[in-house]
């Protein structure tokens, strides 16, 4: 159990038997009336987000979530196989649980796998990853403007938008939350 004062991003709450992760929270102290906490919660299993308001100081039930550093080994059918970096134990995570993180996962890459009572809840990647462009249309000579973009396929098979001057074989930094191009990596 925790109070609404203990809320922080990433905390997982147990509300009516369902697990909800705090995405955003804001303590509000209006001029009139009691203080309250406005939150945006994401259902860990379905991915649905809702806005929920709690009165300040009330108790909320937290879920025990075990976050472990794991290494992505390989894909086995539709499952992703991760290995615990400390115990070398391997676990199979279904593709639905991995979700959009699959667009940025390379073999031997580190990720955080969160579990609750033996069930894998979600896979968390670093904020950005470095990927190599495997296919893109050739850029025009002298086209160094930042105005235009073109589609490019990275080594995971995911397609992102990149500036016109980038070519096949270029390593780029990609935001894992939005899939946006962040820059070239030399």
- Tens of pLDDT, residues 99-129: 888 889 988 999 999 888 888 888 888 888 9
Note the pLDDT tens digit of each residue in 122-170.
Answer: 888 888 899 999 998 886 655 555 567 888 999 999 999 888 888 889 9
| Full domain range(s) for residue 42 | 2-60
Q: What CATH number does residue 86 fall under?
A: 2.40.50.140
Q: Are residues 132 and 170 in the same domain?
A: yes
Q: Does residue 56 sit in the same domain as residue 17?
A: yes
- Helix/strand/coil percentages in the chain, nearest 5: 5, 55, 40
**Based on the structure, what is the number of domains in the chain?**
3
- Above 60 in pLDDT, residue 89? yes
Between 72 and 144, residue with greater pLDDT: 72
Overall pTM surpassing 0.95 (yes/no): no
Report the pLDDT averaged over residues 19-45.
90
Q: What is the pLDDT of residue 39?
A: 92
- 154 and 139 housed in the same domain: yes
Q: Which of 124, 153, 174 is the endpoint of a domain?
A: 124
List, in order, residues 6 or more apart from 111 with CB less than 8 Å away.
69, 70, 71, 72, 82, 101, 105, 123, 124, 125
**Single residue among 60, 77, 100 that ends a domain in this structure:** 60
């Amino acid at each position: 159990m925790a109070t609404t004062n203990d809320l922080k991003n990433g905390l997982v709450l147990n509300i009516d038997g369902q697990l909800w992760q705090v995405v955003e929270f804001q303590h509000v102290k209006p001029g009139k009336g009691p203080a309250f906490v406005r939150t945006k919660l994401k259902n860990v299993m379905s991915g649905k987000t809702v806005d929920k308001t709690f009165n300040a100081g009330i108790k909320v039930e937290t879920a025990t979530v075990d976050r472990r550093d794991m290494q992505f080994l390989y894909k086995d059918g539709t499952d992703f196989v991760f290995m615990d970096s400390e115990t070398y134990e391997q676990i199979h995570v279904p593709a639905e649980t991995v979700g959009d993180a699959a667009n940025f996962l390379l073999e031997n890459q580190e990720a955080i796998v969160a579990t609750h009572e033996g069930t894998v809840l979600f896979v968390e990647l670093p904020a950005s990853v470095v990927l190599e462009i495997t296919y893109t249309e050739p850029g025009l000579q002298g086209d160094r403007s930042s105005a235009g973009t073109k589609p490019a396929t990275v080594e995971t098979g995911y397609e992102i938008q990149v500036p016109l001057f980038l070519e096949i074989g270029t390593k780029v930094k990609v935001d894992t939350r939005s899939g946006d191009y962040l820059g070239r990596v030399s």
